Structure 1
Amino acid sequence: MHGPVQAGWLLVALCAATGSYCLLRMRSRLEEQRRAAGGEALMGFGMALMALPAVVLTPPRWAWLGYTAVFGAAACRALWAARRDPHHLHHSVGACAMVYMAVAMAATPAAHAGHGGGGSPALTGALLLYFAGYVLWSGVRLLPVPTSTAVVEGGRGGSGMVAMGWADRPELAMVCRLSMGIAMIAMLLTL
């Protein structure tokens, strides 16, 4: 799915680091952070596996069917969760993009080696536009985020204010989403 091997490894590292932080966010005290973190961790690790350079691992066709099933189920779950929180629509689009790439890989195994030819140019272009817009929107939203603290019952020293932990930082969650959006663009460009 990639050209140069070094770029593939950088993409694997970015996606794995993002997935790891999302696992940490699942321990957050804030319910909205926990709700989204599981799906984002799945996306991060799934993208890391899919981004492995073809010289290291060329999965058999049945593995792409496994990707299709896992991310198809994730897309349905995100669509169901979007009834309560519209942000999950983005998760659904991301999972559908993973399904699309997995189907393209199963149909054209040469696409994984970076030779292109997989997928529909129109659908690939539409997904590229969506994720480019999402990356720009996420980047703009990241700029004005102030450092904040959370109010916790029974805080120390009677003030009621406790500094947020690593799992509760909204700006770090935005950085993860931005990173995964950029990684998705990179993966779609090589399809």
Structure 2
Amino acid sequence: MHGPGSAAWLLVALCAATGAYCLLRMRSGVEEQRRAAGSEALMGFGMALMAIPAAVITPPRTAWALYAVVFGAAALRALWSSRSSAHHVHHLVGTFAMAYMAVGMAAAPSGHAGHGGAGAPLVTGLLLLYFAGYVLWSGVRLVPVATAGGGPPANGWGDRPELARACRLSMGIGMVAMLLTL
């Protein structure tokens, strides 16, 4: 996922900040929101680790295999959870994409993508289309919530829907950026 230095660091910061906010969202009083926030925190921090520039650190192939196992397990959990919630289908696609990118990174000759040859073009293209569409859809959904005004709800800032949507939007943008460098 290692792109140009400053862009990679911006992606690392965006994903890490999103992951940190999702950890705070795990304090919600609503069970479903806590579960979704936990999955999103894993995605945010995983994306931040994968986006660290290769000039700083090039993880060994075993690290990429570990990422693939962790996100493969998260994909199985999302598959199981998708029976009861359509939102978990998005988590399933996201965790699959992370596992797919980790496998691509492990298979890349230099141990990091960005030089071509990592990942199947068809799968990468389909994931890019999905996440580009998701970003556009999330952005459109965010506008009415953000312009409605009103201030924080009585149940706390961690349960504000516009912040959760902005979090998901930023991770979608990060996923598009990572897939473009694969």
TM value normalised by structure 2:
0.93
1:178 aligns with 2:162: no
Distance 2:180 2:113 in 1: 13
Contact map agreement 1:148 1:164 (CA 8 A) in 2: no
Matching residue of 1:189: 180
- For the residue of structure 2 that corresponds to 1:110, the secondary structure is coil
Change (3 A) 1:13 1:109: farther
Distance 1:12 1:184 in 2: 12
Contact map agreement 2:23 2:37 (CA 8 A) in 1: yes
Q: Alpha-carbon deviation of 1:115?
A: 1.6
1:169 aligns with 2:160: yes
Contact map agreement 1:101 1:119 (CA 8 A) in 2: yes
Matching residue of 1:138: 138
Distance 2:113 2:99 in 1: 18
Extract unaligned runs of 5+ from structure 1.
151-161
Matching residue of 2:129: 129
- 1:15-164 superposed matches below 5 A: 15-110=15-110, 112=112, 114-145=114-145, 146-147=148-149, 163-164=154-155
Extract unaligned runs of 5+ from structure 2.
none
Moved more, 45-54 or 113-122: 113-122
Q: Alpha-carbon deviation of 1:164?
A: 3.9
Distance 2:47 2:39 in 1: 12
Q: Percent identity?
A: 73
Change (3 A) 1:113 1:128: closer
